[in-house]
Structure 1
């Protein structure tokens, strides 16, 4: 009875600590994440210590039940990745967030099998040697760049089988959004100041002229006002594209999960671009061999098709032909299906030295032609980041005099029972 009371006290203390940890985390103060990490670590130590006592006194079945019902429930309620390892850096326990980040993590396997980060592994040794907690950084580059701050601390195990020697707990805090936000702010200032300088200078020059020599010149006033309107629209498009790019980059590390039909999206956008194509004497054709579901964000995929078709119509030359197609392709190996969107024009083509840089912000093959067509230099940069967010691939094939083909491929949505109706309705 006394033993049951003590175990209940351990569990109650652990749960209370988790609540305090999550509350501190939610407050968003500077040190709240690591206050939460420390309190949750104490709670985890209490629960794991209680489980070791249970293993000594109880049958193996009861021990396994306690481990799954208490420790895993505790870890599952911590929103950031948490990993518990022993003195040999062998994984003892992980929470769902850690499994999502590092799918190769396996219990009773060395941490280095899934997390190849020398700074983190050296930090574990340092904590075991000194007993003092430390912080280090961990970065991933596949499938997208992400950055984490790793808090490494010793976890006392007074009743553990290792004779009281501590294990190590790792808390990973995602810094990706904060770093992207800072980088985007710096890029926005640099790029916007460069691109806005020319239209602003034109507007100021025309305003001064209208206030001075052309004050009473009606024909000049009408001509200048038309140019000023064009420059103002250019600045509006530029700001809209910059804001769109910022929003997309901020969510680039979060892949969409809902199914959408890429063929339906492409057909809709081709119809929307038809007036522009007729105005320029360009024939746009569309071909799809059925419904092609993929995990995606509909509005972002509409933006991809819009940019690619609009570029093909604008730069493909008058009287030409633009072919848009959506097809399902099975890669061999590994027999994985992908949905491929292809947009081909019959324009003058692009020299090979320009192709690697086409998705850079504000990069243009012909600056004057791009500005005359109303381009901002951000269209393909937006396409690239949307494709990255959807875990897709972007390939541009072109040669002088041979036209240009842009192919975007995405992973196919894996159909499950009950999803067919939902996908068909999108």
Structure 2
């Protein structure tokens, strides 16, 4: 390849937005544009491509196309240092008397992750709705049949049916809320909201639940005005404080426990921290707590009326607010959930 041809190929692929590799005879890497160099930090020009990218499917496709075969579309998976999925369009072109192959690459990791998440989400949502729906259908059939004239059974079954219907209503409400938040995720709310006032309002509303669970709410808040949407920040506070009350409650026969709720400005953000005296969370479970439908204890969560979407909602709301959720916990020593949002100018 002449120097002019090499310069022309390099100039051409530098104008392309996708990562592009140009491979010449003996499968040697001739050129790579800036996106390709950013994607693969160890690219070595004028060296066999295999020394820079270890992908058997890519090497085989390049060899076939260099040998005169048609253009190919391939994909391959890498597992180190993290799992990633790549796609490539491999096609030949001639420059002077030499034959080259251009491999246009695409990192499909995020698209694959989103697709997998969508499939899991549909499966989980269907499962979560199917269980209470099957329960409702069973009780309806019983009430229309054997228990038609049994007043005691009718009262018991209707109470269970009401609980199951409420569970489905909460699930649908959370699903709709997630959908609405995702649609506006790119729009940061900018109204002035006093996070301390939000926390006080939620604590007042949840005080009967705390009393029923033998939990004392310890409130320490100071005026902290953040940029945000009041209704969504109420949802965040309600989820975090209600979870602390339910999962930090003492077992029968144990003394009353406390939940601490604090609000204060901190390093340019307003921070709402909720700490409980519950059983704590194992370290391996903490990163997964904000996944949709993930539960540390499925039976306990359902028994307490959880939908498995509360912390996913919290994460999405805080992402829209350009804030964060920090989770700290030690097994046997409770947990602290801290939500932040930028302070209002």
Q: Tell me if both proteins adopt one fold, taking TM over 0.5 as the criterion.
A: yes
Shift of 1:324: 0.5
Which residue number corresponds to residue 399 of structure 1? Answer: 330
Q: Distance in 1 between matches of 2:17 and 2:335?
A: 41
SS of residue matched to 2:274:
strand
Which residue number corresponds to residue 234 of structure 2? Answer: 302
Which residue number corresponds to residue 109 of structure 2? Answer: none
Structural RMSD (CA): 3.0
1:234 aligns with 2:167: yes
SS of residue matched to 1:391:
coil
Which residue number corresponds to residue 168 of structure 1? Answer: none
The structure 1 residue matched to 2:191, chosen from 253, 258, 279, is 258
Shift of 1:214: 2.0
Deviations 1:298-357 (A, max 9, x none): 100000000000000001023210001111122xxxxxx221110000111111111111
Deviations 1:154-190 (A, max 9, x none): xxxxxxxxxxxxxxxxxxxxxxxxxxxx999877643
- Please list, as runs of the form range in 1=range in 2, the aligned pairs for 1:20-419 lying within 5 A after superposition: 118=18, 189-289=122-222, 291-318=223-250, 319-330=256-267, 337-414=268-345
Using a 3 Å threshold, how does the CA distance of structure 1 residues 243 and 186 change in structure 2: closer, same or farther?
farther
TM-score scaled by structure 1? 0.52
Greater length-normalized contact order (CA 8 Å, ≥ 6 residues apart)? 2
Q: Distance in 2 between matches of 1:327 and 1:286?
A: 12
Q: Distance in 1 between matches of 2:117 and 2:201?
A: 31
Which residue number corresponds to residue 253 of structure 2? Answer: none
Q: Distance in 2 between matches of 1:379 and 1:117?
A: 39
Q: Distance in 1 between matches of 2:19 and 2:320?
A: 28
Structure 1: segments with no counterpart, 5+ residues: 1-111, 123-181, 331-336, 415-426
SS of residue matched to 1:265:
helix
Which residue number corresponds to residue 46 of structure 2? Answer: none
Give the number of the structure whose residues are more often strand, by fraction: 2
Indicate if the aligned counterparts of 1:312 and 1:322 stay in contact, CA closer than 8 A.
yes
Q: Distance in 2 between matches of 1:295 and 1:215?
A: 56
Which residue number corresponds to residue 98 of structure 2? Answer: none
Q: Distance in 2 between matches of 1:184 and 1:386?
A: 19
Indicate if the aligned counterparts of 2:121 and 2:292 stay in contact, CA closer than 8 A.
no
- Shifted more, 340-349 versus 257-266: the winner is 257-266
Q: Distance in 2 between matches of 1:391 and 1:251?
A: 12
Using a 3 Å threshold, how does the CA distance of structure 1 residues 183 and 265 change in structure 2: closer, same or farther?
farther
SS of residue matched to 2:135:
helix
TM-score scaled by structure 2? 0.64
SS of residue matched to 2:284:
coil
Q: Distance in 2 between matches of 1:412 and 1:199?
A: 42
Shift of 1:237: 0.9
Using a 3 Å threshold, how does the CA distance of structure 1 residues 184 and 350 change in structure 2: closer, same or farther?
closer
Indicate if the aligned counterparts of 1:307 and 1:383 stay in contact, CA closer than 8 A.
yes
Using a 3 Å threshold, how does the CA distance of structure 1 residues 351 and 328 change in structure 2: closer, same or farther?
same
Indicate if the aligned counterparts of 1:285 and 1:324 stay in contact, CA closer than 8 A.
yes
Which residue number corresponds to residue 18 of structure 1? Answer: none
SS of residue matched to 2:156:
helix
Deviations 1:189-224 (A, max 9, x none): 433311111111111111222222222222222211
Which residue number corresponds to residue 57 of structure 2? Answer: none
Indicate if the aligned counterparts of 1:188 and 1:242 stay in contact, CA closer than 8 A.
no
